Amino acid sequence: MGGFTDQITECELCGKPELRGTVQMIELDADGNDDQDHYFGTTCAAKASGWTQKKVKEEAKRVAGAKAAAEEKRLFTLWKLENFQTDDTQAVVDMTGLRYTELKSLFRRDLHSCL
């Protein structure tokens, strides 16, 4: 199962429109690879997975959080490479004399200013 998205608001299973959002259900092919994405309302996602609706919501939230963290990590690496020609955080800390938290807030500021 993937995360929750508010970009798609129609349940693919029952066609119910104007939902607050849908849960991404990932169908695996015979080899176990991600094959096709489906977007179900939480009620249908619960029915399809055999989970409670509460568990579906919790899992979707967890996945979305993990994805956001992975994306930030990826962007932080790119940012370090672009600005300091290394993705070694310790090297950047040594180079700039900034603390790790200061470096992170600098990164976040840059990230938001270019979006």
Q: Which residues bind Zn ion (CB under 5 A)?
A: 11, 13-14, 16, 41, 44
Backbone angles phi, psi at 27, to 5 degrees: -90, 130
| Shortest Cβ 102–Zn ion spacing (Å) | 47
Query: Which amino acid is located at 37 in the chain?
Result: D
| Shortest Cβ 58–Zn ion spacing (Å) | 19
Spatial separation of the C-alpha atoms in residues 43 and 90, rounded to whole Å: 46
Which C-beta is closer to Zn ion: that of 17 or that of 32?
Answer: 17
| Shortest Cβ 78–Zn ion spacing (Å) | 38
Return the structure tokens found at 37: 């994405």
